[in-house]
Amino acid sequence: MNDCKLNFSVIAPIPEILDTPLKYGVLGRAVKMGLIGINTFSIREYASSPNNKIDDHIYGGGAGMALMYEPIKKALLDAIRAMESPVIYVLSAGGRKFNHEVAHEMINNRNNILICGRYEGIDERVYEICSMEELSVGDFILSGGELAALSVIDATSRLVPGVLGNEVSLDEESFKDGLLDYPVYTRPEEIDGMKVPEVLLSGDHKKIKIWRDDMRLQRTRKYRPDLLHLIKKT
């Protein structure tokens, strides 16, 4: 797996959640082409109890359960041994926000380990095993970190040269320069009384670019004004 351009090891309570998405579409092709490598470690397989228990009640009381230390530790040590100098991330709502910049960091790392939480989180002592960073995909709660891990893997893999069939598409995607993408239209030119903007039918590529740049700025101001400070000055 370390021969790939980008590698992920995912430590999760239910790694099977990743199986189907990793077989199809952009990710499936990238795996088949050997551009990205994915390895999964089921925390349950490292449980020591007869019923493969991986969660327990939390000290101090309160609702919910938390993932136990020992199974995660064993899985993590195996994942570390299988990779050369990996960088370790814990998918957590309280972590640093995952974005385009972090995705590029992961490509530069080349070898990345993603630890997926579930229930009320993981035993805090897991963070003492070795250096690791918490990472969040957004200000919302998921049932488990597996879906967050898929988002991270998908967003990062798209940036690996050769993964996308059309590199121009990658260059024009949202967030690359801090702006949202421009609106797109396809055939027919008019449907249900709605027409494609005339400028897109003009064939004048300079005017089209000016229109698209303006639309991107307008959309960002309307829907994501918080991104405006990230716009790269050219």
Q: Tell me the residue type at 74.
A: K
* Tally of domains in the chain: 2
> Which CATH number belongs to the domain containing residue 107 in this structure?
3.40.1280.10
Task: Report the predicted TM-score, pTM, of the whole model to 2 decimal places.
Answer: 0.84
In angstroms, rounded to a whole number, what is the distance separating the alpha carbons of residues 107 and 92?
20
Which residues form the domain of 192?
A: 172-230
Q: Are residues 145 and 32 in the same domain?
A: yes
For residue 174, pLDDT over 70 is answered with no
For residue 125, pLDDT over 50 is answered with yes
Tell me the two tokens of residue 171.
């260059």
CA distances in angstroms from 26 to 112, 124, 155, 220, listed in the order given = 19, 35, 10, 27
Q: Are residues 179 and 209 in the same domain?
A: yes
Q: Are residues 147 and 182 in the same domain?
A: no
Q: Are residues 33 and 107 in the same domain?
A: yes
Q: Are residues 182 and 95 in the same domain?
A: no
> Which CATH number belongs to the domain containing residue 193 in this structure?
1.10.1270.20
What number of helices (H) and strands (E) belong to the chain?
6, 9
Q: Give the pLDDT confidence of 181-215 residue by residue, as tens digits.
A: 999 999 999 999 999 999 999 999 999 999 999 99
Task: State the pLDDT at residue 49.
Answer: 85
Q: Give the pLDDT confidence of 42-67 residue by residue, as tens digits.
A: 999 999 988 899 999 999 988 889 99
Q: Tokens 């805090």 identify what position?
A: 124
Mean of the per-residue pLDDT values of the chain: 91
For residue 177, pLDDT over 90 is answered with no
